[in-house]
Amino acid sequence: MKVSLIIPVYNSYDLLNDCVRSILNQTFIDFELILVDDGSTDKSLELCREWSTKDNRIKVFHQKNLGPSAARNLGINMANGKWIVFVDSDDTVLPSYLSDMYKIVSDYDEIDLCISGLQVFRGGIACEKISFPGMICSTSDYKTLFNHLSIYKHGFSVGKMYKRSIINHYNIQFDHKVRIAEDCLFMMNYISVCSSSRESKIAFIDKCNYNYMIRRGSLSTSVSSYEQELCNYSEYKRTLLRLRNALSINDDVYNQLCSSLPFFIDRIINAIYKEDSSNTRISKLKTIDTEVYKKYKNHTTRAENMLIYLLGNHHWYLYDYLRKHIK
Q: Residue 211: count other Cβ atoms within 10 Å of its Cβ.
A: 20
Contact residues for 255 (Cβ-Cβ < 8 A; gap 6+): 296
* Cα–Cα dist 173/31, whole Å: 21
Among candidates 123, 194, 129, which has minimal Cα distance to 162? 194
Q: Are 52 and 58 in contact (CB under 8 A)?
A: yes
Instruction: Give a three-class secondary structure readout of the chain.
Output: CCEEEEEEECCCHHHHHHHHHHHHCCCCCCEEEEEEEECCCCCHHHHHHHHHHHCCCEEEEEECCCCHHHHHHHHHHHCCCCEEEECCCCCEECCCHHHHHHHHHHHCCCEEEEECCEEEEECCEEEEEECCCCEEEECCCHHHHHHHCCHHHHCCCECEEEEHHHHHHCCCCCCCCCCCCHHHHHHHHHHHHHCCCCCCEEEECCCCCEEEEECCCCCCCCCCCHHHHHHHHHHHHHHHHHHHHHHCCCHHHHHHHHCCHHHHHHHHHHHHHHHCCHHHHHHHHCCCCHHHHHHHCCCCCHHHHHHHHHHHCCCHHHHHHHHHHHC
CA torsion, points 163, 47, 57, 35, in degrees to nearest 10? 20
* Cα–Cα dist 286/317, whole Å: 11
Question: In the chain, which residues have pLDDT < 50?
Answer: none
pTM: 0.94
Contacts 24+ apart (CB under 8 A), 322-326: 323/269, 323/273, 324/273
pLDDT score of 220: 55
pLDDT score of 279: 74
Contacts 24+ apart (CB under 8 A), 219-223: 219/179, 219/180, 220/180, 223/267, 223/270, 223/271, 223/274
Q: Residue 293: left if φ>0, alpha if ψ -120 to 50, beta else—which one?
A: alpha
Q: Are 51 and 20 in contact (CB under 8 A)?
A: yes
* Cα–Cα dist 58/50, whole Å: 10
Angstrom CA distances, 154 to 26, 105, 116, 129, stand at 24, 20, 10, 12
> For 19-44, how does the pLDDT look when each residue is reduced to its tens digit (9 = 90+)?
999 999 999 999 999 999 999 999 99
> For 138-188, how does the pLDDT look when each residue is reduced to its tens digit (9 = 90+)?
999 999 999 999 999 999 999 999 999 999 999 999 999 999 999 999 999
* Cα–Cα dist 87/211, whole Å: 10
pLDDT score of 38: 98
pLDDT score of 327: 56
pLDDT score of 251: 97
Side-chain-facing half-sphere of 42: CA atoms under 13 Å: 11
